[in-house]
């Protein structure tokens, strides 16, 4: 059983590094090149595809591997696990809203341009959502590492 837990934990951490690391990198890419007049639409589209096909599936796989580790070794009613699951749910909602905002941002880039007030407002909303999601991830990481209350 310990070996299964360790392998699951390994994959859980690997998925977190790949999916969340990609997400953080995409945020930086979006900040640096999302408004570029020539390449911005391509960058926004590429980010949208990477989030759809890599980050969100990774986020879901983290839930699956995390729940499997709970099944193997922890009571589900443990306070830090319930808190992490609540934050994970909020994070999934934020990711979903971020995808909608990114779709709108891409559409506004193509129709109104990156200098328009509607694009800038939508871009700011995306930045706020991204920062909020990043803070949620840090809070979940804190719970995973320190397991407060145990």
Per-residue model confidence as pLDDT tens digits over 93-122: 999 999 999 999 999 999 999 999 999 999
Tokens for 100, please give them. Answer: 């909608």
What is the average pLDDT value for the chain, to the nearest integer?
95
Q: Which residue reads 């890599």 in tokens?
A: 54
How high is the pLDDT of residue 67?
Answer: 98
Q: Measured between alpha carbons, how far is 81 from 83 in angstroms, rounded to an integer?
A: 5
Q: Measured between alpha carbons, how far is 44 from 98 in angstroms, rounded to an integer?
A: 12
How high is the pLDDT of residue 144?
Answer: 94
Q: pTM above 0.75?
A: yes
Q: Per-residue pLDDT tens for 58-104?
A: 999 999 999 999 999 999 999 999 999 999 999 999 999 999 999 99
How high is the pLDDT of residue 1?
Answer: 60
Q: Measured between alpha carbons, how far is 35 from 112 in angstroms, rounded to an integer?
A: 12
pLDDT at 39 over 90: yes
């Amino acid at each position: 059983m310990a070996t299964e837990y360790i392998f699951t934990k390994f994959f859980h951490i690997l998925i977190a590094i790949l999916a969340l690391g990609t997400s953080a990198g995409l945020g930086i890419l979006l900040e640096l090149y999302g408004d570029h007049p020539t390449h911005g639409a391509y960058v926004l589209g590429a980010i949208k595809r990477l989030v759809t096909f890599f980050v969100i599936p990774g986020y879901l796989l983290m839930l699956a591997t995390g729940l499997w580790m709970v099944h193997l070794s922890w009571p589900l009613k443990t306070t830090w696990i319930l808190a992490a699951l609540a934050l994970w749910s909020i994070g999934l909602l934020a990711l979903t809203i971020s995808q909608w905002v990114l779709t709108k941002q891409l559409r506004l880039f193509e129709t109104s341009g990156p200098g328009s007030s509607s694009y800038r407002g939508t871009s700011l909303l995306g930045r706020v959502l991204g920062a909020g999601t990043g803070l949620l991830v840090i809070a979940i990481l804190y719970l995973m590492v320190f397991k407060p209350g145990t």
